[in-house]
Amino acid sequence: MPDNPIYDIIIVGGGLVGASLAAALRATPLKIAIIEAAPWFTDKRPPSYDDRIIALNDASHKIFSGLGLWEKIAPEATPIKQIHISDQGHFGFTNLDSKDLGAPALGYVVSARHLGESLKEILANSSIDIIAPAKFLDINQSDNLLNIEITQNKQRQTLQTRLLVAADGGTSKVRQHLGIKNHSIDYGQTAIIRNVTLEYPHKNVAYERFTPSGPLALLPLQNNDCALVWTVASDKTDEVMALDDQTFLKSLQQQFGWRLGQFRQIGQRHSYPLQLSRIQEHTRPRVVIIGNAAHTLHPIAGQGFNLGLRDVASLSEVIIESLEAGEDVGSEITLQAYVARQEPDQQHITNITNMLVQVFSNSFPPLVVARNFGLLVTDAFPPLKKLLVRRMAGLSAYPSRLLCGLPTTNIKYGNITTLN
Ligand SMILES: Cc1cc2nc3c(=O)[nH]c(=O)nc-3n(C[C@H](O)[C@H](O)[C@H](O)COP(=O)(O)OP(=O)(O)OC[C@H]3O[C@@H](n4cnc5c(N)ncnc54)[C@H](O)[C@@H]3O)c2cc1C
């Protein structure tokens, strides 16, 4: 690599969000690099390309279609036709159906591992530079560029860029380095994930069951398996993780009931501490923060990555617009256009997610009665149900080109030149 190479865009973090942004911009003439701390070119992979199961909503399905990735994802994606929501030991329930959305499915269930592998495959055939394993260390402004210091193979190196995108996850070093405040709530809950095999067919129904210890979700997978996301109080995590398989299944059966028959085989358990956090400033000169680095959500409504992908759709669009207009991709105008399009969506989804966790993790009797009536009213009132389904599908967000399922790879850039 030459000394101090200059990029138009450096993306710190090659997780699902950073890699998706690179995929969205791969057909532009921009010189782009991803700096990723984890190994990339071996069998090892970035930490979030793991066994967690992601429920992609309709907006994400459209965005991945626009990115030209859906055909790679589809063979391993299981459609969700219905979502059954219930409150353990109480009368309330509601059923959401793909007909309420007017789409073949409410969403699709796919492993983070498969999403990550599909992204890596598409980036391997692009001109994006992947600098990995390498860590972001420091950032300094110089004229119209940023100097980014990284470490790779124990050596420090400086790269220059017109725009730095921080997609380095919930503990973002870029955010910390810039002193950007992060409003966070620790729910004292941990998600335990694991695949289970069912006795009865799941019929592509996803289940969200609120229990006194926290929400429990079962997402349909291929071969009549389900992905379990079980939220427990953090001080009980070690105990639940240490249970032998039979006791674990028995306890799960007690919480969920027998609607799907007996839970049978189970896969490996993994645990993730849960919190909500949201940044208070989205940009600094020539820097923008996206994905979990900007907002980390409880998985109660399966919205974290879906929202991060809409950050990608909005940001890639303003970058392409500034490129077409012959403007600087890192300018204040570009970054403010992104904030104007994406901040309302981020606020809305973090507020809804927080409200769901607070309301459904609370056993205050009047609130329990109110939330059960809420579930029944939603079930009985189709316009309300349609509104809810549309919001959770991500379709009320800014209608970027990608969110409308339109590609970003077929734009003609003519004689547009970039910095390099
Ligand atoms: C149990 C569970 C279930 C979930 N289910 C869903 C779901 O159903 N639907 C949904 O939409 N979302 C879901 N999510 C949320 C989703 O997993 C995250 O929102 C998403 O993975 C965030 O991606 P990201 O790329 O923003 O961050 P990350 O995945 O954290 O990626 C950040 C990347 O940055 C790299 N990095 C960090 N520091 C540096 C540095 N200094 N230099 C270079 N690189 C660095 C890391 O190695 C990493 O690869 C779930 C989360 C959990 C925990």
Residue 229 Cα: closest atom of ligand 1: 1
The residue with greater pLDDT, 274 or 88, is 274
At residue 287 the predicted structure's pLDDT band, cuts being 50, 70 and 90, is very high
Q: What is the pLDDT of residues 140-193, one digit of tens each?
A: 988 789 999 999 999 999 999 999 999 999 999 999 999 999 988 888 889 999
- Range 47-75 average pLDDT: 93
For residues 259 and 70, give the distance between their C-alpha atoms in angstroms, rounded to a whole number: 32
pTM of this structure: 0.92
**Nearest CA among 394, 283, 289, 277 for reference residue 345:** 394
The rounded Å distance from CA 347 to ligand 1 centre is: 19
Residue 55 Cα: closest atom of ligand 1: 8
Contact between 166 and 290 under an 8 Å Cβ cutoff? The reply is yes
- Range 370-391 average pLDDT: 64
The rounded Å distance from CA 172 to ligand 1 centre is: 11
Q: What is the pLDDT of residues 251-262, one digit of tens each?
A: 889 888 898 999
Pairing of strands 129-131, 32-35: parallel
Q: Hey, whose CA ends up nearest to atom 37 of ligand 1?
A: 168
At residue 372 the predicted structure's pLDDT band, cuts being 50, 70 and 90, is low
Q: Work out how many domains the chain is built from and give that number.
A: 1
Whether residue 13 has its Cβ less than 6 Å from ligand 1 = yes
The residue with greater pLDDT, 102 or 338, is 338
Whether residue 36 has its Cβ less than 6 Å from ligand 1 = yes
Asked if residue 336 is part of any domain, the answer here is: yes
For residues 120 and 73, give the distance between their C-alpha atoms in angstroms, rounded to a whole number: 12
- Range 312-319 average pLDDT: 97
Report, in angstroms and rounded to the nearest whole number, the Rg of the chain calculated over CA atoms.
22
Contact between 214 and 361 under an 8 Å Cβ cutoff? The reply is yes
pLDDT at 399 over 80: yes
| pLDDT of 41 | 85
- Structure tokens given for 336: 């403010």
Q: Hey, whose CA ends up nearest to atom 18 of ligand 1?
A: 305
For residues 306 and 17, give the distance between their C-alpha atoms in angstroms, rounded to a whole number: 9
The rounded Å distance from CA 16 to ligand 1 centre is: 6
- Residue 148, domain extent: 6-185+275-404
- Structure tokens given for 288: 């923008």
315 DSSP assignment? H
Asked if residue 310 is part of any domain, the answer here is: yes
The rounded Å distance from CA 206 to ligand 1 centre is: 22
The residue with greater pLDDT, 45 or 71, is 71
For residues 290 and 335, give the distance between their C-alpha atoms in angstroms, rounded to a whole number: 12
Strand partners, 194: 228
**Nearest CA among 200, 196, 229, 193 for reference residue 214:** 229
The rounded Å distance from CA 289 to ligand 1 centre is: 13
Q: How many CB atoms within 10 Å of residue 161?
A: 26
Asked if residue 172 is part of any domain, the answer here is: yes
CATH of the domain at 181: 3.50.50.60
Which range scores top for mean pLDDT: 33-42, 230-239, 308-317?
308-317
Q: Which of 10, 11, 16, 190 to mutate to test the pocket of ligand 1 (most atoms within 8 A of CB)?
A: 16
The rounded Å distance from CA 116 to ligand 1 centre is: 11
Q: Which amino acid is at 346?
A: Q
Q: Hey, whose CA ends up nearest to atom 35 of ligand 1?
A: 13
Q: Which of 12, 52, 178 to mutate to test the pocket of ligand 1 (most atoms within 8 A of CB)?
A: 52
In b/e form, how buried is each residue of 5-29, taking b as 16+ CB within 10 angstroms? bebbbbbbbbbbbbbbbbbbbbbbe
Q: Hey, whose CA ends up nearest to atom 30 of ligand 1?
A: 169
Residue 139 contacts by C-beta under 8 Å, 6 or more apart in sequence? 146, 147, 148, 149, 164, 174, 177, 178, 287
- Range 125-132 average pLDDT: 96
- Structure tokens given for 292: 């979990």
Secondary structure E strands in 13-59: 32-35, 53-57
